[in-house]
Amino acid sequence: MKKLVSTLMILAMLIPSVGAQSTDIFKKKKKKKGKTEEVAKVKTDSVANRKKDALQPYARVITGKAKTMNGFFKVHNVEGRYYFEIPDSLFGRDVLIVNRIVKAPVDMQKRKVGYPGDQIGDEVIRFEKGNGDKLFVREISYIEHSSDTLGLYQAVLNSNVQPIIATFPLKTVRKEGETNNYVIDMTDYIRRDNKLFSFESRAKNNAGIGGMVDDASYIDTLKAFPRNIEVRTVRTFQRRASSPAGAGTSVSSAPSSPLTYELNSSMMLLPKEPMKSRLYDSRVGYFAVSYKDFDENPQGVEYKAKITRWRLEPKDEDIEKYLKGELVEPKNPIVIYIDPATPKKWVPYLIQGVNDWQKAFEKAGFKNAIIGKEAPTDDPEWSLEDARHSAIVYKPSDIPNASGPHVHDPRSGEILETHINWYHNVMSLLYNWYIVQAGAVDPGARKPLFDDELMGQLIRFVSSHEVGHTLGLRHNFGSSSTVPVEKLRDKAWVEANGHTPSIMDYARFNYVAQPEDNISRAGIFPRIGMYDEWAIEWGYRWMPEYKTPEAEIPHMNKWIISKLQEDKRYTFGTESDRNDPRNQNEDLGDDAVLASTYGIKNLKRIMPEIMNWTYEPNEGYAKASSLYQNIVGQFNLYMRHVATNVGGIYSTPVSVEQTDVKAMEYVPKDIQRKAVIFLNKELFNTPNWLLDKKLAERARINTYNAVFRVQSSILKQLLSKNTLDKMTNDEFLNGTKAYTANNLFTDLKKGIWSDLQGGKRPDYAQRNLQKVYVNALISMIDKPKGNSSSLLGMMTSVLSSSDSPSEAPTIARGQLLELRRSLASAASASTGIVRSHYLNLQALIDAAFDAR
């Protein structure tokens, strides 16, 4: 700190202020003025006067040729130049700028980099009058917060000066009553690559974007509305050259190949008075805005977050009714329009997907709180780009996806508007999911093209899921794990309750149901469930009795604890914890082994029918090939669901009042062992039912390669440093109650190395799996760097490789030594390709152990 202060003092002495420059650096001795000096002075005064009079009359700037748009400030287009007319009443008001991709280069979409609809940056700005005839744009941050309660407010402001990121010379000023309107020319700034109306630097890096090509970039349109200004630009960028493997971006193309994007920038005027926030709680899944609070902890800093939600409040005349528990309509309901470009036959299903949430909002005390509507086609004033209008936007694109983003006020978390992206080709995704997961129980799925009613109901489900995101809800991957697997085969129960308590889960369809269960689509499809209704109630219940978000905390905590004690189906399971087997996407039920067993039974029923269900006259086998790949993909999901239990850790967010709940515990030993036994049986013992010779010949599919990729990825997951480290920690904490690394290797060898334990000679598939096993262990052992013959060099490498303790390299080395002895013995007793295979594995181990 002393060094820093000294450095700053030196810099202060070396860099004079502006005033110092004018009085000291340029001070000269007075000379008698001659004629030359007199002429020079006249010229100087003339320039000074011109600068002083730089402001032009309003009519000279905003001429009769101007096309004026009235938004929350006026925008003028004068012969291709765009002028913003900013009233001083907007000075100090927060304006949110959100940048999104409208159209992207095709090859970038294929690489999943920069989809249309993706947000590529956002900023909060303020306009303010600068020194002289200038207008400043200042970037505003809300990541730090303090009020005056502890006298910290000014200190926080002083240490977080908001930067000026753009300066504009004033062109003219117009007086309007008590208001001064300041006019600036934005044309050149918008045209150039800039911080406000283009990619933020991180998004550029992710997409492999270089510098902008100015002469291939332009302003397309600019429109003004009461709450927002919309700027549409076309920007062409140089593409950065490919990075070496592992060096960052995965984009690989010649640097001279340009990338042209169509971008949309929304400037939204934020409410003058921010909505009262609701603080985030990790036990209910909401998107949130994080910030540092300097008030909460007088001896430190609290890291907190506000959930994102719409502002729903009862009308003034209905407040008493609301507080008595009567259902009332909100002052401003959430209205989501359907893009007029949407194919007409799908519009009713999209609307129904929106309206399905009305029941959930009734739990929060509001009726008709959310409404789906067709967009008006006879109102010239209505625009999809107007921020007052939220919409499901139809995109005639081959992207198999849908997304539900929203724009929110960073000060409070208030959601201001949403444009849900519905890509046409999401229907291909729905087709593949449904035929694979429900084809065994729903005859309507057994065809190359679904009827409109089935596809419409699938679209309705996607609509509801994405609308859930726009209401602020995150994915609840843990929801399905709260349902007993056998309940998913109980026709009456599952049709009444649904196969998952949350539509925000990735629990697509009920793949557990068997044909003999006779379960209808009511028990196969996802729906808005009891968790969703509870989450909406928790987030949207209006609570005027609490004056601040902090005052709500004790009540909210008790409420959550009570709900979780009432029924575990109110549980939220985060989508970001890969170690908790309860929080997996695409899974069902509380027992992965049992659920996957039922799922495999159904896949075995579909496999022989691939050719029949995809048959179309005069067509090839593309659909058959696609269906097979999706069956293998579904099989891979089942294997992953089971494998994640091995070394798994249950993580449960709790408050100190939940003394009966463990925040962390390892998956019980018997569940882990059962998982490995299942994998030995269903995966590592080659699933020949997936090796269809006829399909391979007709559709030219290498079915064995497809299966081997699943075997290899799951085996690598089991034999990884991450898995072994978790097992080591489990053993350290729980001793003999833990499923240890030694238990894992003992159980795996019964399947993968059965030949070394008196079993039959390994076939082609088993030999390949054994090689993956050996290479996975080799990848974990410590390897010396530099002078490999130096023990010191090896130890230095080991100690510097990681600060985290790990016995995975030790375990791997011990297993390889033991395996090498067994291979040497087996090689001497074998012949042909099997002997060569054993010798090759020995050589791989020897090479890994060779210190030279």
**The three-state (H, E, C) secondary structure of 703-758, written as one string:** HHHHHHHHHHHHHHHHCCHHHHHHHHHHHHHHHHHCCCHHHHHHHHHHHHCHHHHC
Question: What does the pLDDT average to over 193-202?
Answer: 91
- At 783-828, the pLDDT tens digits run 765 544 455 555 545 544 456 789 999 999 999 999 999 999 999 9
Identify the CA nearest to 368 among candidates 334, 419, 336, 338. Answer: 334
Contact (Cβ atoms closer than 8 angstroms) between residue 753 and residue 770: yes
Contact (Cβ atoms closer than 8 angstroms) between residue 426 and residue 370: no
Specify the range with the lowest mean pLDDT, choosing from 12-26, 355-369, 522-536, 570-584: 12-26
pLDDT at 837 over 60: yes
Judged on CB neighbours under 10 Å (0-12, 13-18, 19+), 360 is buried
Task: Calculate the alpha carbon distances from 297 to 276, 301, 307, 555 in Å.
Answer: 21, 6, 21, 20
Task: Calculate the alpha carbon distances from 745 to 348, 576, 811, 821 in Å.
Answer: 55, 29, 10, 16
User: In terms of DSSP bridges, do strands 81-87 and 74-78 run parallel, antiparallel, or are they unpaired?
Assistant: antiparallel
DSSP 24: I
pLDDT at 10 over 70: no
- Taking the C-alpha atoms of residue 655 and residue 661, their distance in angstroms, rounded to an integer, is 9
| Dihedral of the alpha carbons of 238, 240, 241, 247, in degrees to the nearest 10 | 180
The pLDDT value recorded for residue 427 is 95
pLDDT band at 14 (very low <50, low <70, confident <90, very high): very low
Identify the CA nearest to 717 among candidates 765, 770, 647. Answer: 647
DSSP bridge pairs for 121: 99
- Classify the phi-psi angles of 786: left when phi > 0, otherwise alpha if psi is within -120 to 50, otherwise beta: left
Contact (Cβ atoms closer than 8 angstroms) between residue 387 and residue 227: yes
The pLDDT value recorded for residue 204 is 86
Range picked from 301-315, 368-382, 481-495 for highest mean pLDDT? 481-495
- Taking the C-alpha atoms of residue 504 and residue 478, their distance in angstroms, rounded to an integer, is 10
Contact (Cβ atoms closer than 8 angstroms) between residue 549 and residue 474: no
Task: Tell me the residue type at 69.
Answer: M
The pLDDT value recorded for residue 383 is 85
φ/ψ of residue 251, rounded to 5:
-70, 130
DSSP 393: E
Burial annotation 520-542 (CB, 10 A radius, 16+ → b, else e): ebebbbbbbbbbbbbbbbbbbbb
CA dihedral for 628, 634, 638, 641, sign (positive or negative): positive
- Taking the C-alpha atoms of residue 781 and residue 803, their distance in angstroms, rounded to an integer, is 16
The pLDDT value recorded for residue 850 is 82
- Taking the C-alpha atoms of residue 834 and residue 755, their distance in angstroms, rounded to an integer, is 10
Largest CA distance in the chain: 114
The pLDDT value recorded for residue 116 is 77
| Dihedral of the alpha carbons of 30, 31, 37, 43, in degrees to the nearest 10 | 0
- At 325-357, the pLDDT tens digits run 999 999 999 999 999 999 999 999 999 999 999
Task: Calculate the alpha carbon distances from 818 to 542, 742, 745, 811 in Å.
Answer: 65, 12, 11, 11
- Taking the C-alpha atoms of residue 266 and residue 269, their distance in angstroms, rounded to an integer, is 10
**Helices and strands in the chain, H and E counts:** 28, 24
Q: What is the pTM of this model?
A: 0.86
Contact (Cβ atoms closer than 8 angstroms) between residue 284 and residue 387: no
- At 357-379, the pLDDT tens digits run 999 999 999 999 999 999 998 88
CB neighbour list of residue 441: distance below 8 Å, 6 or more residues apart:
510, 513, 514, 515, 517, 519, 524, 602
Contact (Cβ atoms closer than 8 angstroms) between residue 600 and residue 607: no
Q: Helix (H, G, I), strand (E, B), or coil: what is residue 103?
A: strand
Task: Report the percentage of the chain scoring pLDDT > 90.
Answer: 74
pLDDT at 62 over 70: yes
The pLDDT value recorded for residue 39 is 44
The pLDDT value recorded for residue 205 is 84
- Taking the C-alpha atoms of residue 182 and residue 425, their distance in angstroms, rounded to an integer, is 47
The pLDDT value recorded for residue 395 is 86
CA dihedral for 768, 770, 776, 779, sign (positive or negative): negative
Domain residues of the chain, as ranges? 61-269, 316-613, 753-852
Identify the CA nearest to 284 among candidates 303, 309, 310, 312. Answer: 309
Contact (Cβ atoms closer than 8 angstroms) between residue 178 and residue 327: no
DSSP line for 39-92: HHHHHHHHHHHHHHT-PPPHHHHS-TT-EEEESSSEEEEETTEEEEEEEGGGTT
Quickly list H helices, 101-170.
Answer: 106-110, 153-158
**Other C-beta atoms within 10 Å of 613: how many?**
16
Specify the range with the lowest mean pLDDT, choosing from 49-63, 382-396, 442-456: 49-63
Task: Tell me the residue type at 610.
Answer: I
Task: Report the percentage of the chain scoring pLDDT > 70.
Answer: 85
pLDDT band at 300 (very low <50, low <70, confident <90, very high): low
- Average pLDDT of the chain to the nearest whole number: 88
Contact (Cβ atoms closer than 8 angstroms) between residue 164 and residue 134: no
pLDDT band at 720 (very low <50, low <70, confident <90, very high): very high
The token pair at 419 is 């444009």
pLDDT at 189 over 90: yes
Question: What does the pLDDT average to over 224-229?
Answer: 93
Judged on CB neighbours under 10 Å (0-12, 13-18, 19+), 165 is middle
pLDDT band at 134 (very low <50, low <70, confident <90, very high): very high
**Other C-beta atoms within 10 Å of 646: how many?**
25
The pLDDT value recorded for residue 105 is 85
- Taking the C-alpha atoms of residue 500 and residue 521, their distance in angstroms, rounded to an integer, is 14
φ/ψ of residue 800, rounded to 5:
-90, -10
What residue has token string 């557990």? 512
Contact (Cβ atoms closer than 8 angstroms) between residue 347 and residue 338: yes
The token pair at 236 is 């062409």
| Dihedral of the alpha carbons of 114, 118, 120, 122, in degrees to the nearest 10 | 180
Q: Helix (H, G, I), strand (E, B), or coil: what is residue 302?
A: strand
The token pair at 143 is 């990541």
Contact (Cβ atoms closer than 8 angstroms) between residue 129 and residue 114: no
CB neighbour list of residue 118: distance below 8 Å, 6 or more residues apart:
100, 101
